[in-house]
Amino acid sequence: MRILITGAAGFLGSHLCDRLILEGHDVIGLDNFVTGSKDNIAHLFGSQHFTFYKHDVSNYIFIPAKLDAVLHFASPASPNPASPYAYFNLPIQTMKAGALGTHNTLGVAKANNARFLLASTSEIYGDPTEHPQKETYAGNVDITGPRAVYDEAKRFAESLTLAYHRQHGVDTRIVRIFNTYGPRMDLEDGRALPNLLKQALLGQSLTVYGDGGQTRSFCYVDDLVEGIYRLLMSDEHMPVNIGNPVEMSILQFAQTINRMTDNTTEITYVDARSSRDPQRRRPDITRAQTILGWEPKVDLEEGLNRTIPYFKQKLGLA
């Protein structure tokens, strides 16, 4: 197939480019490098199966020749207010990527009679009162808070995607992505894993908010890409959770990181009010198991062992 990927220079987008090319497809990548990195796709330049355009998806998109699929992954996604590239600091660009970007990419899919896959997020569930979160859960969201620019953009994008499916017959798919990690992550991403792993590798005290009882589940990027690929090749139109259902507290996670990096510094507990993160996050992956025959294969320790060399290299420790 000939496949367009927006956000191709991002963490997930670049891994998807690799997988699709490996499967024999031709990939056209779009990115404006606001949050993506050329380093993530540098190895693809010169490949006869990869074409790249620098472009902002909130503007009209024209791709010459026929497309068979469109994957929309372009959006700021970092929750770290300290980063200039976080959605907190790019609020309008984030909402434009979710609204205008989704509209434009759906238009490309419609014009080409191509299948369409939207990258959505577990953040649409907000701070959930249902646990684990099923795709049928409507969420517990704050529509005016600082996280809303990302959460609501994705919720709108899902609604628009299904509207195009129902009104125009576009062959759509929606993946709700839960916490994912691996090589090519932004070390300043702001999520628990890059924060804690970077601190540990630098021999610093690990920062844990509150008592560390808040939970997360971590999916290795190769597992996530496998789930997305299976969804793209399926006939499923309704949202599907892709993530790892193995849940652990942030304190347990910090202790695991310290052990695996031989970091002996103490954990520092800071005021929970300085973190705006949801308290619990765990996917119900029953639909993915049933419809796609998918579940994660890489456990946390193996995934960390694959990720640590990349972090060391970026930190100048390798």
CA distance 276 to 155: 19
8 A C-beta contact, residue 265 and residue 204: yes
Encoded amino acid at 109, one letter: A
Structure tokens at 245: 């259902």
By CB neighbour count within 10 A (0-12 exposed, 13-18 middle, 19+ buried), where does 97 fall? Answer: buried
Q: Which amino acid is at 273?
A: R
* Catalytic residue of the set 87, 150, 209, 220: 150
The H or E element that residue 192 is part of is helix 192-201
122: nearest Cα among 193, 57, 183, 180: 180
State how beta strands 240-242 and 207-209 pair. unpaired
What are the structure tokens assigned to 127, written together?
């701070």
Asked whether 280 and 128 are in contact (CB, 8 A), the reply is yes
Buried b (16+ CB within 10 A) or exposed e, 203-234: eeebbbbbebebbbbbbbbbbbbbbbbbbbee
User: What phi and psi, each to the nearest 5 degrees, are found at residue 168?
Assistant: -115, -5
- ∠ CA(158), CA(159), CA(164), 5° rounding? 100
Query: Is 150 among the catalytic positions?
Result: yes
Q: What angle do CA 294, 283, 105 make, to 5 degrees?
A: 75
Query: What is the set of active-site residues?
Result: 150
